[in-house]
Amino acid sequence: MKDLNGRVAVVTGGGSGIGRGLSLGLAAEGMVVAVADVQKANAEGVAAEALAAGGRAFAVGVDVTSAPSLAATAKEVVVRAGGVNLLCANAGVLARIGPLDAHTVLDWEYTLSVNVLGVVKTVDAFLPALRASAPDAHIVTTASLGGLVSEVRAPIGAYTASKYACVGYSEMLRAELADQGIGVSVLCPGVVASNLMATSAENRPDAFGEQSAPQLTPKRGGNDAARLAGFAMPAEDVGPLVVRAIRANRFHVITHPQTKRLVEERFQAMLEDFDFADSAPPVLREES
């Protein structure tokens, strides 16, 4: 999908953070952007920003954990914009910062309901419209660098597990939709400036309990929060990177190439485990 001008994009979680950056970036390319968010007022604010910059956008309210809400939103977008060419299944939450044994079952359920099932439900709702636009159609899911490598210094176990699932789902989706003319990319951002923790708490339904304050263990020699803030990419910078990846039909959309070493180390350790398995006595390999 190379020509974005005049095409229609939907961005869930578009009212803040990366979703806002995606919405503004796609609008700058001439796309008609449906900014979708559970907080419709936030979506309206982002749509207004896009309009003020000369783009075309409108706001819609949506709850990505609700199939009926998504179905209604998909119908509204098709009626208002005439179809859908690009779906950014971007809505996500960070329910807990702290060690795994501090994560509650409700933390896990909230995280997975948005970061995994929310992506699945979003794609299911918009897939008929995307098929109608194919081969001029593309899907971008938002995972995380934490969906490619886990980092114990970032104690966000449920979030990391959910993003690993998002990457796996997206890889399968790309393979299954390739013959249908629909491209699939997975956005794996490093640290991006956003208010993810705050919006996660604000949007957390009562059924999932209250969201506790982050449980961080200070490290000697510096302020981790300040260090991460200095490393954070502005959300507005993410949009152009995603546009470039869509045009090239790349699968992994990487925002911080300097983190390549972390992924290399993970896969090197995996390859060494394959070598270890291959070095087992023949009788052990035959029994397995």
Q: Within this chain, do residues 266 and 141 fall inside the same structural domain, yes or no?
A: no
**Contact status, residue 138 vs residue 86, Cβ threshold 8 Å:** yes
Residue 268 lies in a domain: yes
Annotated catalytic, 110? no
Residue 2 lies in a domain: no
We report the CATH number of the domain holding residue 160 as 3.40.50.720
**Which residue range is the domain that position 276 belongs to?**
259-288
Q: Within this chain, do residues 164 and 286 fall inside the same structural domain, yes or no?
A: no
Question: What digits encode the pLDDT tens for the residues 154-206?
Answer: 889 999 999 999 999 999 999 999 999 999 999 999 999 888 888 888 888 88
Q: Within this chain, do residues 157 and 284 fall inside the same structural domain, yes or no?
A: no
Residue the block writes with tokens 């079952």: 105
User: Residue 216: which residues within 8 A CB-CB, separation 6 or more?
Assistant: 97, 98, 155, 224, 225
Question: Using 50, 70 and 90 to split pLDDT, how confident is the model at 226?
Answer: very low
The catalytic position among 110, 159, 164, 169 is 159
**What mean pLDDT comes out for the span 14-31?**
97
Residue 1 lies in a domain: no
